[in-house]
Amino acid sequence: MTIAGQGGAALPVPYAMEYRDRVPRERYFDADFFALEARQLWSRVWQMACRLEEIPEANDFVEYEILDQSILVVRAEDGGVRAFQNACRHRGVRFAAGRGNCAAGFTCPFHGWCYGPDGRNTFVPQAKTFAEHNLQPGDLDLVGVRCEAWGGFVWINLDDDAPPLRS
């Protein structure tokens, strides 16, 4: 069995599955296999981030963590869902944990940058200390993550080029 490496070159898959009902045990503890999955799999596949019941009301949020990534899934005012990187655009600090309601928005604990439930930056303390080119709206807003709801779940994908969930 092979997988596509950088440039599309085929790489052998360590601990390949010989039988569909038996996973080689090394896949659960081998550090190199973990690194391969982190690089080739988890950043590219659709993942179940939460159930819709976990965020029933507008502005409810839940944090989803995978590897070194923290993603916030937020119920929008219109009933839809959105997802964002849980990292302040100023210094990359995580600003939310667990679950809750963000009707008042999110505030970074490091320097106090504020974001609305829609991911838009709403306040930059001491904005006059920043050069104008550092305060462009697209550079201040939270980084969106692909997000779709299906089957009662919210799914996220860190790969902007991945096919749609239902594909």
pLDDT on residue 40: 86
Q: Does 71 lie in the same domain as 121?
A: yes
Diameter of the chain by CA atoms?
Answer: 63
Is residue 28 a contact partner of residue 143, using CB atoms and an 8 Å limit? no
Q: What is the pLDDT along the chain (167 residues), one digit of tens a residue?
A: 555 655 666 667 889 889 999 999 999 999 999 999 888 889 899 999 999 999 999 999 999 999 999 999 999 999 999 999 999 999 999 999 999 999 999 999 999 999 999 999 999 999 999 888 889 878 999 999 999 999 999 999 999 999 999 98
Q: Does 127 lie in the same domain as 60?
A: yes
- Domain-embedded: residue 32: yes
Q: Residue 8, SS3? A: helix
The domain that holds 93 is classified in CATH as 2.102.10.10
Q: Does 133 lie in the same domain as 74?
A: yes
pLDDT on residue 1: 55
Burial 17-26 (b: 16+ CB within 10 A, else e): eeeeeeeeee
Q: Tell me the residue range of the domain where 37 lies.
A: 2-42
- Domain-embedded: residue 162: no
pLDDT on residue 122: 96
pLDDT on residue 108: 95
- Domain-embedded: residue 122: yes
Domain count, the chain: 2
> Which residues are CB-contacts of 157 (< 8 A; sequence separation ≥ 6)?
44, 45, 46, 47, 145, 146, 147, 165
Q: Does 21 lie in the same domain as 97?
A: no
Q: Does 63 lie in the same domain as 32?
A: no
Distance from C-alpha of 121 to C-alpha of 54, rounded to nearest angstrom: 25
- Domain-embedded: residue 113: yes
Q: Does 74 lie in the same domain as 37?
A: no
The owner of tokens 């904005």 is: 127
